[in-house]
A and B are shown apart, each in its own frame.
Chain A
Amino acid sequence: MGVVLKNLRKEFESPDENRRKVVAVDDVSLKIKEGELVTLLGPSGCGKTTALRMISGFEIPTAGKIFFGDLDVTNLPPDRRDSAMVFQNYAIFPHLTVQDNVGFGLTVRKLSKPEIAQRVDAILDLVGLAGLGKRMPDQLSGGQQQRVALARAIVNEPRVLLFDEPLSNLDAKLREQMRSEIRRIQQHLGITAVYVTHDQAEAMAISDRVVIMNEGRIEQEGTPMEIYNRPTSAFVADFIGKVNFIDAEVVKCVGNAVDLEMWGQVITVEHTEPLNQGTKVQVVLRPEAVHLGGEPSYATGVISSVVYLGSMVEYTVLVQGTSIQAEVSSPIEHGIYNEGDQVSVYFSPKVPHLLVK
């Protein structure tokens, strides 16, 4: 079942004295296809949770509509919606055992005891908790609690699965493991899912589509690749991964080739849209696309800082008075520069992305 958000808006009265209006979600429209996993990604406070809570029914939109399939659910309370949520801090019932937690939704639906037991067992199996049904939640590790929350949400066979930063309380290793687990189960069940996170790596890893939010609005939506390589705004470029913005001016534009005036010379890069001569642009250049010390070369820079990270080295290079970030992987293979070294700087004409100012 697909989910459609139509011009969703949510205002809160700020809790402090002056009762200002806070617009948490501002004119958000989105179509989520059946079986798709879409992430809402954005900095803290940008309205992701609020959007999710409107989908789940915990907040009533100030304006706009929400559809599950063809059904308008905008004003339907959460217990009447075919959605289930995995909460940020798991929200496990601390006074119930694992199996009672997972079976809660089924008991509410008044299923027979044997059926509940059977379905709970099957789900515990699916999420890798077989045999732990009799435990109390406080006897579980963080990762296991996370699995209980997931099991509890999917045992009801909801048509829409919602996640609010489900992994933010886990350590880095477990986070990576759980996110592929979640992805596996979601695809296995073929369930439509909306996943909220502020972690861009997580969003890239798990999603069919990423929706970048900023101050309540959608900045950009697209596949992880589109978002990373073709950001439509400086905000998105900056939010997803590290980035260099280099000011430049269009000198000439013929077909896909754009001649840019940058770093005191003319550099030709590829661009799909025609640009007028004299247009000021920002060249979006990812640090890993910057090549140092090879041929050909666009400019010469001076290394101003070196950070060794094991799998790669992060350099800050001063080029024509502006600093840019460069990442060089496999440092053993490529050698390491020192502060003050002079290096040539180059990037492939294919990689930069241009933002018109």
Chain B
Amino acid sequence: MSTILLETKQRGRRVYLELQRLAKEPWLALSILAIFTLLALFIVLPLVKVFQMSLASGESSVAGGSVAMYKEVFQSWYMRKALVNSLVTGVLSALLAVLVGFIMAYTVTRVNVPFKKFFNLVSIVPVISPPFVSALSILLLFGNNGFVTYNLLGIRNFPIYGLRGLLIAQTITFFPVAYLSMKGVLEAINPALEDAAFDLGASRWRVFGKITLPLAAPGIASALLVIFIESLADFGNPLVLAGSNYPTLAVQAYLEITGMYNLAGGAALAVILLIPSVSAFILQKYWVSKKSYVTVSGKPTRSTVKSVSGAMQWILFAFCVVVSIVVLVFYGIIFVGAFSRAWGFDYSFTLRNFSYVWDVGYKTIVDTVTVALVSTPISGILGMFIAFLVVRRNFIGKGLMEFTSMLSFALPGTVVGIGYILAFNTKPLLLTGTLTILVANFVFRYVPVGIQNGIAALHQIDPGIEEAATDLGASSQTVFRRITLPLISPAFFSGLVFAFVRAMTAISAAIFLVSADWNLMTVQILAQVSSGRLGAAAAFSLILVGIILVAIFIIRILVDRLLGVKFETRF
């Protein structure tokens, strides 16, 4: 009994000392407080609102304590089907994308084949384009007037809508995620381990099965879960490709709200969507990532032992070539589509699509770029700062801050979108239809990636370097600005790029938040696709990708200038 008392007393004293110390750094204390407020406001509050609304009783759309809405949802076979479809698509997409990503990553890291740089580049392309561009490509290739189906094969109504088309689109969209993480994992496996196994007389298959694969297993599991989450949350591809015969949760939630004005029903669907997503997230973060054998540090040293036989080498190479061709065709077709007069009938060159886009979309383009320009620096700096706090500072609620800020990664955009319109539609938080709500959405939805990059980068940097700066009299903010940020500038750069790309390309939450005053290009592209103007959609997409490429270039220069770090001389 008395020991417990003593423990509590000691803990109390520790908390008191921490507080005392924070009080000596008011700037730090204030920013921690500010971040908590923002996280509560823009991540927790919308989530709470969605839960509340989903418990609204029946018709009235008044928040209450009834599960009527869930009953209704589960009684409808169509909604049950949506749930099953979402889960099935998520699982299959994850498996396919990881399979493709793993094979490519294995080939690039372990097999002696030409064009490795090229394969690498191809895998980056889908990362910087709107997530449903592959859906658009599928329509251009296999749709009613599809180039392959209609022009080449003469089939008019090829059944591309539904699971099949959706899987192709999602695999192409998400395999780069798997590729990049699998590449990291495979590079980090100490080649000496594989060499040692060869040395002990193991065959190639044995080395692969007993050494490489088990060592990569946690990484594979983690990639599977991440893509499962992304697939569940995917909105653009299913909206374009699934059709009414293949309902999915994210799309149904959207239609329920915008089509039927059934906020409670939409919210209930959102909550149902949330459950597998958050479960996968927690599994990934607290179980799989703890099992990893691979330390992220260490330079990749390439072993000279051949990991595969000659025949296998060429099979793998052929696989990579095919994947690359598919990716290039998928994105090339957008290019062709943007400059073609009438898809399926008249492929002559025209700039008509662009002038049309310019006429209807000029303001949207300006809006989109504005939103992206405002949210990018906020997201980038916030991400690095939260990473800095989490890794380098001790304060009460640190774990909570990390969890909450990372949580939004697991929240499907649909859930966030619904949450935002519920949370910010009355005074004093009347934000609907403003720039602020769009910026807040993008900042808090995509900051987890920055945080994660920042945390990983910080773990590579000797904390002594920052301590030395503190020791020399620098306050927390000086240390962060003059030492930490320049040292993690690669993570900062990629955080900024990611923030910008997502602000330009994301749709699932934003579609709930756009207004006449502030519209976004992705929403417009989707509208063009829905009304069958594929050429205009393609032109729009092309402009979007162009803006992104220019922005990446500018961000790179700015980061180097501002932090005084030369890009080439990264340590």
Contact = CB atoms under 8 A, between A and B. Distances in A.
A349 B330 CA distance: 93
B86 to A, nearest CB: 36
B565 A95 contact: yes
Contact of A79 (B17, B471, B487): B471
B438 to A, nearest CB: 35
A343 to B, nearest CB: 49
Interface stretch (B18-26, B250-258, B526-534): B18-26
Contact of A77 (B21, B472, B478, B564): B21
A78 B483 contact: no
B473 A79 contact: yes
Nearest to B10: A62
Given A60-B17, A77-B21, A95-B487, A105 B473 contact: yes
Given A56-B471, A79-B470, A89 B17 contact: no
A85 B20 contact: no
Contacts of A108: 469, 472-474, 478
Contact of A91 (B464, B475, B564): B464
B328 interface: no
Nearest to A164: B464
A91 B468 CA distance: 6
Interface string B467-499: 111111111001000110011000000000000
Interface in A74-133: 75-80, 83-85, 87-89, 91-95, 104-105, 108-109
A95 B472 contact: no
B487 A152 contact: no
B471 A77 contact: no
A131 to B, nearest CB: 22
B553 interface: no
A89 B14 CA distance: 30
Interface string B33-53: 000000000000000000000
A138 B569 CA distance: 11
Given A84-B471, A85-B471, A109-B473, A60 B486 contact: no
Interface in B437-484: 462, 464-465, 467-475, 478, 482-483
Given A60-B21, A77-B25, A91 B462 contact: yes
A316 interface: no
Contact of B571 (A83, A94, A149, A152): A94
Contact of A104 (B21, B467, B474): B474
A156 interface: yes
A83 B467 CA distance: 13
Contacts of A62: 10, 14
A109 B472 CA distance: 9
A153 B10 CA distance: 35
Nearest to B394: A60
Interface in A138-157: 138, 149, 152-153, 156
Contact of B487 (A76, A80, A94): A94
- Is chain B's binding surface mostly helix, strand, loop or mixed? helix
A337 interface: no
A138 B571 CA distance: 9
Contacts of B462: 89, 91
A64 to B, nearest CB: 13
Contact of B464 (A83, A87, A156): A87
B486 A91 contact: no
A91 B474 contact: no
A104 B469 contact: yes
A88 B487 CA distance: 19
Nearest to B563: A95
Interface centre among A77, A84, A92 (most CB of B within 10 A): A77
A228 interface: no
A78 to B, nearest CB: 5
Nearest to B463: A91
Interface centre among B24, B467, B471 (most CB of A within 10 A): B471
A58 interface: yes
Contacts of A84: 471-472
Contacts of A89: 462, 464
B571 A95 contact: yes
A239 to B, nearest CB: 27
Nearest to A107: B482
B24 A91 contact: no
A91 B470 contact: no
A56 B486 CA distance: 25
Contacts of A83: 471
Contacts of B474: 79, 104-105, 108
A92 B465 contact: yes
A152 B21 contact: no
B564 A95 contact: yes
A93 B471 contact: no
Contact of A156 (B20, B467, B472): B472
A78 B467 contact: yes
Nearest to B18: A60
B472 A58 contact: no
Given A60-B17, A87-B467, A138-B571, A152 B472 contact: yes
B24 A80 contact: yes
Nearest to A104: B472
Nearest to A53: B467
A11 to B, nearest CB: 9
A78 B564 contact: no
Nearest to A76: B24
Contacts of A91: 462, 464-465, 467-468
Contacts of A104: 469, 472, 474, 482
A98 to B, nearest CB: 14
A102 to B, nearest CB: 10
Contact of B475 (A79, A85, A105): A79
30 contacts: A58-B471, A60-B17, A62-B10, A75-B17, A77-B21, A78-B470, A79-B470, A79-B472, A79-B473, A79-B474, A79-B475, A84-B472, A85-B471, A87-B467, A87-B468, A91-B462, A91-B464, A91-B467, A93-B469, A93-B483, A93-B487, A94-B465, A95-B564, A95-B571, A104-B469, A104-B472, A104-B482, A105-B472, A138-B571, A152-B468
What 3 pairs across the A-B complex have the smallest Cβ distances? A105-B472, A91-B464, A91-B468
Interface of B: 10, 14, 17, 20-21, 24-25, 462, 464-465, 467-475, 478, 482-483, 486-487, 564-565, 569, 571
Given A93-B465, A95-B571, A152-B472, 11 more contacts: A60-B17, A60-B21, A79-B475, A84-B471, A88-B464, A92-B468, A95-B565, A108-B472, A108-B473, A136-B569, A156-B472
